[in-house]
Every structure is written in C-alpha cells, then in structure tokens.
Amino acid sequence: MANSQYSERVIEGMQMLFGEGFLSPGGAAEVDEMLEGEDIAGKTVIDLGCGIGGGALMLAGKYKAGRVVAVDVEPDSLERTRAAADAAGVGGRIETLQIAPGPVPLPDGCADVVFTKDVVCHIDDKAAAFAEMARLLRPGGRLICADFVENKPDAADPDGIALFDAWVDVLKTYGLSFHYERWDVYERALAAAGFAAPRVFDHTGNSAVVARREYDLVTGPDHGPIKARLGEDYFKTRIKTSEMRALALERRGLLHLHIRADKPAG
C-alpha cells in the first residue's frame, strides 16, 4: 500500500459502505467470520495492514486480545486507529506501528497470531510477505488471513476472465493498485515460509452477496449521502467499482478466500 491511495474522501466513502473503521468489504461481520471458533483472549496479535483500526478494535475489544500491534504504512490511518482505540477504552492494549513496505521492525516469534484482512493482494512479493508473517509468529502460532485472489485460468466461463480484467481497470481509475495472483502462488509462498498445510474457506459467494448489496445501495434511493460525500466524479467511479467487483466475484474471475495456517510448534 502507499500513502497516496487513501484520500480523505475515499476513506469516508469506504466507511459509509463498509462500516466505521473499515476500508475493505465485509467490515465487522467478516472479521467475525474470520475469527469464528478462535480463542485469542489474552494473546498477542499483530494486525498487519490495520487500516483505520476497525479490526484492531474488535481484536482488543470483542475478542479480548491481551495486546494488539496495529501495523500499517500510512501515518494518518494509524492516528485514526489510536484515536478510535482511546475512545473505545482499549487504547491500553493497542499499539500502533508505522512501517515502510518490507520487513516489520518487531522481534522473531513475538506474536501468537498474525491477522491480516485483504492486505496481501496489495503486496507484489507474496513469498516475502508470508515469510515475514512466519518470522513474527511464535512456534505454534497462527496466521488468520483473508484475501482476494485471481482466478482467470479457472474462471467458470470466458466472461469471468473479461470481468476480472475490467475490475482491475476500474480500480486504477479509483486510484487503487493491487497485485493479484492465483491461489497456487499463495500456496507455494505459504509452504516456502514453513506454514503447515493451510485450511482454506472459499468466501467468494459470501463476498459476492456483500458486493451486490453494496451496488444496490449506491444505485438505490438512499445513495444521496454517499454521493454528496464523494462528489459526482468519484461517485460514478464508486458505482462502477461496486458493479465490477460484484460481477467478477459472481463469475469467479476473482475469488475471496479465508486462510488459516499454523507455524509448526517444533
């Protein structure tokens, strides 16, 4: 990610669609899905690519993590995270850490859990990213990850390929950049980092429903506040972004996966 990707109005528009504190689809409901069955109470969790703090607040608040290190490249986002954490009464258990792209300046084995939601798709070197996550985890620690994955070679029909390409094009017009890869790239990167066989849940259908609901909102009768906040040009692009993500997910040229993987204990 880069600082230029998230202007003030992009941030506000995303929160109006995804929920307060969130810059990616699914918001708080998807954090709940990612953490279903997990017990992180009292544990040290690194929220990698924390954005403006919605996930970090849930990790520390609802899920009672003992310590959350909220990591991001954008100082403005981290300022929002700190303010939100203090307002929610969990500031004492959330630390913020600004980094440059690359290694995270934290010691080996410092975390029980690395949590990352829709972040790896922003990183071009997946192998380096997962190797760094493995380094940060203690032996027996767990990676909990959600991400968007390219599926062009295996799309259900030719339209899936075309719609994936159209989705990437519209992201560029919105000012966002991504580095999508196929699942096999992730699988090799996770194995090279030393993770045990990942457990993968195909969340594409759920994400398609969320995306279609978003499109219905921005094209429906209640779109006025979002349009007013974004402005005419950004709002038109937002409609196209919502439409193309829904179509790409529905035709499975774009997948959304939930991944859990453990660092071996010995």
Q: What is the pLDDT of residue 80?
A: 94
Q: What is the pLDDT of residue 6?
A: 61
Residues 74, 94: Cα–Cα separation, whole Å: 16
- Strand order in 137-150's β-sheet? 94-98, 67-72, 44-48, 111-117, 137-150, 254-262, 199-202
pLDDT at residue number 193: 98
Per-residue model confidence (pLDDT) at position 4: 44
Q: Could you give the CA distance from residue 20 to residue 218 in angstroms, rounded to a whole number?
A: 17
Cβ–Cβ < 8 Å for 34, 259: no
The helix (run of H) or strand (run of E) holding residue 48 is strand 44-48
Q: How many residues does the chain have?
A: 266
Q: Measure the CA dihedral 27/28/33/39, to 10°.
A: 140
Closest C-alpha to 57, from 21, 111, 96, 14: 21
What's the start-to-end Cα distance of the chain, in Å? 33
Q: Do residues 156 and 252 make contact, with C-beta atoms less than 8 angstroms apart?
A: yes
Pairing of strands 111-117, 67-72: unpaired
- Residues paired with 201 in a beta bridge: 258
3-261, CATH topology level: Rossmann fold (3.40.50)
How is residue 137 written in tokens?
Answer: 């985890």
- Please report which helix (H) or strand (E) contains residue 228, including its range: helix 224-230
3-state secondary structure of 218: helix
- CB of 254 closer than 8 Å to CB of 245: yes
What tokens does 256 get? 């959304």
Integer Cα distance of 51 and 110 in angstroms: 21
92: its two tokens: 């004492």
Print pLDDT tens along the chain (266 aa): 334 456 677 788 888 889 999 989 999 999 999 999 999 999 999 999 999 999 999 999 999 999 999 999 999 999 999 999 999 999 999 999 999 988 999 999 999 999 999 999 999 999 999 999 999 999 999 999 999 999 876 655 666 778 788 888 877 776 667 899 999 999 999 999 999 999 999 999 999 999 999 999 999 998 888 888 888 888 888 888 899 999 999 989 899 999 999 999 97
- Rounded to the nearest 10 degrees, the angle between the axes of helix 232-250 and helix 8-18 is 50
The answer to whether 243 touches 235, Cβ cutoff 8 Å, is no
- What is residue 154's predicted lDDT score, i.e. its pLDDT? 62
130 neighbors 188 (Cβ within 8 angstroms): no
